[in-house]
């Protein structure tokens, strides 16, 4: 048990009122699991005038100050022990003199210390957190880049080619030899979302998605016959049809 020291608030014995000083040490939890502040807590107090005596005043004074110190320390890293000490003492000074549990706390001071092992452990934890944050940021950036490539760059062959050329130009400072800029422009325009053939292709894709397997097969046979009638045998052969489905007549 820490020593209890009596101080007299007056040199006149007849009017002297006893002040008591208690100093003790404790461990205060930080916001890092398992890491603590070494705390030395000093409290000067006296019983309130006219109040009943209390045999627990010795413990009450220390506990009241310790609770304030614990509350703030639990929100802080041990790496910031000096700032934490300053803030605890600032909060205590704002409360003093402080009456609680039948006692009057006149002065209170908390001194914090962190040993070398605890400090080094906290630094390692902080470094791991920084690395984890950077890795998470890198993952998000990569995911965003992949989505951009899928949604924008690889959406059409023309945009993919244009992006590749721009990347090469940015890296080398010029377009690669043999690049036909006019042809690239024509390709991009050809694949424009409002281009006639792109709109038709999108409509066909939507239409096919709403057909049953049987109706989709009938439509493919119709396209097969249509391609043949226009002399596009190679295109007709590229249609995804079973060999037995191919015929030279439209389905009934």
- The tens digit of pLDDT for each residue in 177-189 reads 665 656 666 666 6
Burial class (CB in 10 A: 0-12, 13-18, 19+), 34: exposed
Query: Would you say residue 34 has pLDDT above 50?
Result: yes
The whole-number pLDDT of residue 12 equals 41
Query: Would you say residue 196 has pLDDT above 90?
Result: no
Query: Would you say residue 9 has pLDDT above 60?
Result: no
Burial class (CB in 10 A: 0-12, 13-18, 19+), 102: middle
Q: How far apart are CA 75 and CA 90, in angstroms?
A: 16
The whole-number pLDDT of residue 110 equals 95
Domain ranges of the chain: 4-114, 211-252
* β-sheet bridge partners, residue 7: 19
Q: How far apart are CA 225 and CA 133, in angstroms?
A: 60
Superfamily of domain 4-114, CATH level 4: Band 7 domain (3.30.479.30)
Give percent of the chain above pLDDT 70: 71
- pLDDT class of 248 with cuts at 50, 70, 90: very low
The whole-number pLDDT of residue 208 equals 78
Q: How far is CA 142 from CA 139, 149, 153, 166, 228, in A?
A: 5, 10, 15, 20, 47
Q: What is the pLDDT of residues 164-181, one digit of tens each?
A: 766 766 566 665 666 565
Q: How far apart are CA 37 and CA 13, in angstroms?
A: 41
Q: Report the first-to-last Cα separation within the chain, whole angstroms.
A: 103
Question: Residue 127's closest CA among 85, 83, 77?
Answer: 77
Sign of CA dihedral 152, 158, 164, 170: negative
The whole-number pLDDT of residue 96 equals 85
Q: How far is CA 187 from CA 156, 176, 192, in A?
A: 10, 18, 9
């Amino acid at each position: 048990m820490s020593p209890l020291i009596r101080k007299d608030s007056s040199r006149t014995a007849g009017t002297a009122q006893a002040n008591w000083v208690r100093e003790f040490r404790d461990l205060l939890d930080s916001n890092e699991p398992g890491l603590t502040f070494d705390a030395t807590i000093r409290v000067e107090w006296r019983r309130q005038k006219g109040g009943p005596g209390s045999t627990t005043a010795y413990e009450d004074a220390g506990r009241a100050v310790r609770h304030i110190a614990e509350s703030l320390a639990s929100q802080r890293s041990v790496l910031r022990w000096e700032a934490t000490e300053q803030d605890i003492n600032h909060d205590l000074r704002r409360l003093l003199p402080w009456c609680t549990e039948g006692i009057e706390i006149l002065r209170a001071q908390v001194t914090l210390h962190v040993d070398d092992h605890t400090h080094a452990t906290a630094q390692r934890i902080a470094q791991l957190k920084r690395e984890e944050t950077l890795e998470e940021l890198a993952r998000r950036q990569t995911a965003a880049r992949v989505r951009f490539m899928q949604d924008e760059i690889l959406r059409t062959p023309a945009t993919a080619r244009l992006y590749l050329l721009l990347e090469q130009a940015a890296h080398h400072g010029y377009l690669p030899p043999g690049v036909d800029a006019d042809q690239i422009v024509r390709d991009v325009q050809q694949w424009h979302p409002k281009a006639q053939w792109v709109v038709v292709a999108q409509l066909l894709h939507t239409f096919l998605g709403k057909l049953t397997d049987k109706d989709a097969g009938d439509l493919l046979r119709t396209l097969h016959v249509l391609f043949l009638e226009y002399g596009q045998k190679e295109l007709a052969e590229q249609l995804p049809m079973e060999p037995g489905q191919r015929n030279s007549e439209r389905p009934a």
